[in-house]
Amino acid sequence: MCFFLTHPLRAINCFECLLCGGMATYGTTICEPCKRELPRIHHACPTCAQPLAVSLSCPACQRHLPPFYNCRAIFHYQGVIRHLIHRLKYHNDLAAAKLLGRLMADALGSHHPEMPECLVPVPLHPARLRQRGYNQVVEMGRAISHELNLPMELKLVHRLWPTESQQKLSAVARRLNVRDAFRARNKPQYHHIALLDDVMTTGATATELAHCLRKAGVRRVELWVCARATNP
C-alpha cells in the first residue's frame, strides 16, 4: 500500500514525497525514484492518446477523426497515478491535485510548440460541486495554470444536468449519458483552448465538450488529460 494512504498528515509537509514518505526533490512533493517509476505513456495515438506500441494513428481515428484537434495524456490510469486521482476525487487530498498538476505541466510544457490561449477544466454540475466541495480537475488546473502561465477559464462552458457516473457504463451508454449535456456560456473570444480532464477512457465526455465548444466558435480544441485508461 502506498505510504501516503496510511499517513495522510505527511502530505502537509512539502518536503516529503507523497508516495513513499522519503525526501522529496526541492520544491516538490515527490522524490526522484518515485518520479522515475510513474506509469508514463510513451507511445500513443497522436489524436486520441490511446496507448499503443508505436505512436501511430489508432484504427478508430483513422476511420473517423474526433472533434478535438489532439489529445495529450501523460500517464496510464494505473498504480500510484490511479491512487493519487482516487485520493483527490474521493478523499479531499488537494496535495495530490498540486502534484498531478505540476507533473502534467512538466510534461506538457516541454513538448508543446503552440500553447493554447486558456485552460478549460471539464465542469461539474453545480449540484455535484456542492456535494464534493471542489472540482478536482479545477484543482489540478490551478497548478498547471501557475506553472505554464496559462489562464484558466471556468465560465466558458457548463454542465446542464448532473450526468450519471461514466465508470460502469459501456462505450455506447457513455456517449448517450453525456449527449447534449454541456452548453458554452458565451460567444467565446478564444480560438485555441485546452480542455483539461483527470481521466479519459472512451473520450465520450471530451468528444461531447469539444463538439459543444467547436459549435460555439472555438476553432481548435485540444485535450489535456492526466491519465488515460484503456478503452473498455
17 interacts with Zn ion by CB under 5 A: yes
Q: Compare residues 62 and 131 and give the one whose CB is closer to Zn ion.
A: 62
Q: Which stretch binds Zn ion (CB under 5 A): 25-33, 131-139, 159-167, 201-209?
A: 25-33
Q: By CB neighbour count within 10 A (0-12 exposed, 13-18 middle, 19+ buried), where does 119 fall?
A: buried
In whole angstroms, the minimum distance from the beta carbon of 23 to Zn ion comes to: 8
Segment 61 to 80, residues that bind Zn ion, using CB under 5 A: 61
Residue 55, C-beta contacts closer than 8 angstroms, at least 6 positions apart: 43, 44, 45, 46
Q: Which stretch binds Zn ion (CB under 5 A): 57-65, 72-80, 103-111, 138-146?
A: 57-65
The distance of Cα 61 from the centroid of its chain, to the nearest Å, equals: 20
Q: Compare residues 20 and 154 and give the one whose CB is closer to Zn ion.
A: 20
Choose, by CB under 5 A, the member of 41, 45, 103, 143 that binds Zn ion.
45
Dig out the grid coordinates for 1 from the structure: 500500500
20 interacts with Zn ion by CB under 5 A: yes
Q: Which stretch binds Zn ion (CB under 5 A): 15-23, 75-83, 114-122, 190-198?
A: 15-23
115 interacts with Zn ion by CB under 5 A: no
96 interacts with Zn ion by CB under 5 A: no
- Alpha carbon distance 86, 65 (integer Å): 31
- Alpha carbon distance 199, 81 (integer Å): 10
Nearest C-alpha neighbor of 2 from the set 51, 37, 47, 49: 37
In whole angstroms, the minimum distance from the beta carbon of 114 to Zn ion comes to: 20
Size of the site for Zn ion (CB under 5 A): 12
In whole angstroms, the minimum distance from the beta carbon of 164 to Zn ion comes to: 25
Q: Compare residues 42 and 132 and give the one whose CB is closer to Zn ion.
A: 42
**Alpha-carbon dihedral 227, 83, 148, 138, rounded to 10 degrees:** 90
Dig out the grid coordinates for 2 from the structure: 502506498
- Alpha carbon distance 79, 62 (integer Å): 30
Q: Which stretch binds Zn ion (CB under 5 A): 18-26, 159-167, 199-207, 221-229?
A: 18-26
Output DSSP code: residue 225. Answer: E
Alpha helices in 111-203 (DSSP H): 126-132, 136-148, 171-178
In whole angstroms, the minimum distance from the beta carbon of 182 to Zn ion comes to: 22
Residues binding Zn ion (CB under 5 A): 17, 19-20, 22, 31, 34, 45, 47-48, 50, 58, 61
